[in-house]
């Protein structure tokens, strides 16, 4: 699948209220905010605004660095002040949301890896009439919590697509490597892959902040179970650690991953990784700031009650060269 340049994707999203990552077209945006949303405060066109992006990212996660790049680039485009903070501890993430509410920002962007832990804080933001857009994780709870829309991909659909790719490559027993405990989206990816693989799927819990340990755990698992002939990483840094593990184990198991980095694209070109599920995380930073800017300046809402899909697509050896330089520059 060849990827559409980011500028065209953005144009398509703004024109059609969302790009389709799972085959379902997005409906047009309504003229007013959906029921239950905080009432907007109109601002002159071109007003900058202050926006807080608060994610569940651990420090140094290359995936979230690209989200941050997208959010900051959009802020610069619209003359807005954008702050980015991440914390893998849901309680601390809630505190960051509470701080943003206290600061009376013009909008909040939040990822919900653990929705229940964030419900109260997001509720405070909505009650304070601060518009909220959820990204990446928590699609199923976004509307319930009063968010304007959700920007990301259906993890279940993406997982099924990954399972199809691995099945076509001959994988019959898959090791699905989960790098964040309690992240509902990661479990959905593994479940989706299990649905379409037609073989068995075993989960391995690792810690993304300790990649050396990730590599050793994958090596040990591969060596102890010779039936495993496929590995699915759910993070680009974990994918590279898994690649090294397969080399150390002398395994011919096929490796696929979710999400891009420069190293992952190089590994795809070199035939070390079969594919990367591409959810275009740059758009998960850029689009929410764009949507909040439009909401503040022109009372626009996007999505028509449906999420705005940024994926999934697939980067393979056939199209890796096209996105290599973009990934290295921090926009893919």
Q: Mind listing the pLDDT tens digit for each residue in 18-66? A: 333 333 333 333 334 444 444 444 343 445 899 999 999 977 788 899 9
Q: What are phi and psi of 187, to 5 degrees?
A: -65, -35
What is this structure's pTM?
0.75
- Among 107, 103, 130, 114, smallest CA distance to 55 is for 114
pLDDT tens-digit map of 125-150: 999 999 999 999 999 999 999 999 99
Strands 275-278 and 313-315: antiparallel
- The mean pLDDT value for 313-331 works out to 88
Question: Tokens representing 194?
Answer: 């299990």
Segment 249-258 mean pLDDT: 96
Look at residues 201, 210, 206 and name the one whose alpha carbon lies nearest to residue 176: 201
Alpha-carbon distance of 238 to 255, in angstroms, equals 11
Query: Pick from 236, 156, 214: which is nearest to 190 by CA?
Result: 156
How many whole angstroms separate alpha carbon 171 and alpha carbon 230? Answer: 5
Kindly give, in sequence order, each residue whose CB lies less than 8 Å from that of residue 209, ignoring residues fewer than 6 positions away: 58, 60
């Amino acid at each position: 699948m060849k990827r559409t340049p980011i500028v065209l994707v953005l144009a398509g999203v703004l024109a059609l209220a969302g790009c389709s990552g799972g085959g379902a077209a997005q409906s047009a945006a309504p003229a007013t905010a959906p029921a239950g949303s905080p009432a907007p405060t109109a601002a002159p066109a071109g007003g900058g605004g202050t926006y807080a992006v608060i994610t569940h990212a651990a420090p140094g996660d290359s995936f979230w660095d690209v989200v941050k790049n997208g959010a900051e680039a959009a802020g610069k485009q619209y003359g807005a002040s954008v702050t980015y903070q991440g914390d893998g501890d849901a309680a601390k993430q809630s505190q960051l949301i509470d701080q943003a509410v206290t600061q009376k920002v013009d909008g909040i962007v939040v990822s919900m890896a653990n929705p229940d832990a964030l419900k109260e804080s997001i509720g405070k933001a909505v009650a304070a009439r601060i518009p909220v857009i959820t990204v990446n994780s928590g699609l199923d709870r976004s509307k319930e919590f009063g968010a304007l829309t959700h920007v990301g991909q259906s993890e279940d659909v993406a997982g099924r697509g990954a399972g199809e790719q691995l099945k076509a490559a001959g994988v019959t027993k898959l090791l699905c490597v989960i790098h964040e405990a309690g992240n509902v989206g990661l479990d959905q990816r593994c479940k989706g892959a299990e649905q379409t693989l037609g073989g068995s799927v075993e989960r391995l819990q690792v810690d993304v902040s300790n990649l050396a340990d990730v590599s050793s755990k994958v090596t040990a698992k591969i060596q102890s179970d010779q039936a495993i002939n496929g590995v699915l990483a759910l993070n680009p840094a974990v994918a590279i650690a898994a690649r090294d593990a397969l080399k150390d184990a002398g395994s011919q198991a096929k490796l696929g991953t979710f999400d891009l980095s420069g190293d992952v694209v190089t590994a795809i070109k070199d035939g070390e990784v079969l594919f990367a599920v591409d959810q275009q995380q740059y758009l998960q930073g850029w689009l929410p700031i764009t949507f909040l800017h439009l909401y503040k300046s022109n009372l626009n809402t996007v999505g028509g009650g449906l999420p705005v899909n940024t994926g999934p697509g697939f980067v393979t050896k056939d199209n890796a060269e096209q996105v290599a330089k973009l990934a290295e520059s921090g926009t893919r």
